[in-house]
């Protein structure tokens, strides 16, 4: 993956995140100017990666961008001060069972980029099919398409996921009337960090002649933190593994990573 580096931040290429459960979708078609203690003023979606989800491809993408920007090729996920994923077990799992043993991710899109595209799981005549907002509901399964961003924010190494589009993957059990309360609990803790990102970066970086495109970084060392995040650390062999993806053929087929990325 190519990593683009500006004066203030680094960004990876758009990719497909692992399948997830949509938790909070209220601000997919409108800007969040009121939700949470520190509204993001962006389009956004919160998802949960539940037990059994293979997060290795996502962690590999996160670490590739983080290692380039923070100039540490040996950096581990557990050493990141602020990462895109939060541990659901640190929240009230009795009140909100969706949290249990899950990793939570909130991804956002700035207003000037427009509303994120919402797609069905099928291609028709080789083209993605748009779906209405109500097809992406709390409890359904989705694929997020986005890119990793990394920067030092207020002196803290920070990594996030920028939202490009959402693909409906499958129906699921609706989370019920408390889904908004679930998400507000997440947003209160995460949106203040997003505000820090906005204040420092403005989220409108453009690449110019002074920007660089890199794929590696010089050596440095950092002491790892303990905790659940350590379970997401990958060894070098795992991170370098190439995951094969086959293109989709036919008039109406389920969308693969390659077919949708090529089509949007």
Asked, for residue 159, whether it belongs to a domain, the answer is: yes
Asked, for residue 9, whether it belongs to a domain, the answer is: yes
| Calpha distance 34→14 (Å, rounded) | 28
CATH number at residue 37: 2.40.50.140
Quote the pLDDT of residue 188: 44
Tokens of 246: 């086959």
Quote the pLDDT of residue 17: 95
Asked, for residue 184, whether it belongs to a domain, the answer is: yes
Asked, for residue 215, whether it belongs to a domain, the answer is: no
Asked, for residue 23, whether it belongs to a domain, the answer is: yes
Domain count, the chain: 1
Asked, for residue 92, whether it belongs to a domain, the answer is: yes
Quote the pLDDT of residue 93: 87
Nearest C-alpha neighbor of 168 from the set 142, 187, 204: 142
Asked, for residue 225, whether it belongs to a domain, the answer is: no
Nearest C-alpha neighbor of 102 from the set 212, 253, 232, 237: 232
* pLDDT digit string, tens, across residues 108-145: 999 999 999 999 998 888 888 999 999 999 999 999 99
Quote the pLDDT of residue 221: 37
Asked, for residue 100, whether it belongs to a domain, the answer is: yes
What is the domain range of residue 249?
3-207+242-263
Strands 117-124 and 156-170: parallel
DSSP annotation of 179: H
| Calpha distance 70→31 (Å, rounded) | 31
| Calpha distance 113→20 (Å, rounded) | 24
- pLDDT tens by residue, the chain, 264 residues: 688 888 789 889 999 999 999 999 999 999 999 877 788 899 999 999 998 899 999 999 999 999 999 999 999 999 998 999 999 998 888 888 988 999 999 999 999 999 999 999 988 888 889 999 999 999 999 999 999 999 988 888 999 999 999 999 999 999 865 555 555 555 444 444 444 444 444 433 333 333 433 333 333 333 434 556 666 776 644 443 333 333 334 455 454 444 465 565
Residue 223 makes CB contacts below 8 A (sequence gap 6+) with: 79
| Calpha distance 148→59 (Å, rounded) | 10
Q: Point out which residues pair with 150 in neighbouring strands.
A: 10, 159
């Amino acid at each position: 993956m190519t990593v683009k580096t500006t004066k203030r931040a680094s960004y990876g290429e758009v990719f497909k995140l692992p399948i997830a459960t949509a938790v909070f979708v209220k601000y997919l078609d409108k800007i969040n100017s009121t939700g949470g203690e520190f509204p993001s003023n962006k389009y956004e979606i919160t998802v949960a990666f539940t037990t059994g989800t293979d997060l290795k491809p996502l962690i590999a993408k996160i670490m590739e961008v983080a290692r380039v920007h923070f100039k540490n090729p040996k950096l581990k996920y557990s050493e990141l001060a602020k990462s895109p994923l939060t541990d659901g077990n640190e929240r009230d799992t009795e009140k909100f069972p969706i949290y249990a043993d899950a990793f939570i991710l909130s991804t956002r899109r700035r207003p000037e980029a427009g509303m994120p595209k919402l797609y069905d799981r099928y291609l028709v005549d080789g083209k993605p099919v748009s779906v209405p907002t109500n097809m992406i509901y709390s409890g359904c399964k989705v694929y997020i398409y986005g890119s990793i961003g990394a920067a030092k924010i207020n002196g803290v190494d920070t990594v996030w996921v920028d939202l490009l589009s959402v693909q409906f993957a499958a129906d699921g059990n609706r989370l019920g009337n408390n889904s908004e309360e679930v998400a507000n609990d997440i947003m209160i803790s995460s949106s203040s960090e997003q505000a820090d990102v906005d204040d420092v970066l403005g989220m409108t970086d453009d690449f110019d002649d002074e920007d660089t495109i890199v794929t590696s970084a010089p050596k440095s060392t950092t002491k790892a933190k303990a905790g659940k995040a350590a379970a997401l650390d990958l060894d070098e062999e795992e991170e370098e593994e190439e995951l094969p993806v086959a293109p989709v053929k036919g008039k109406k087929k389920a969308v693969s990573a390659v077919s949708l990325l090529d089509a949007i």
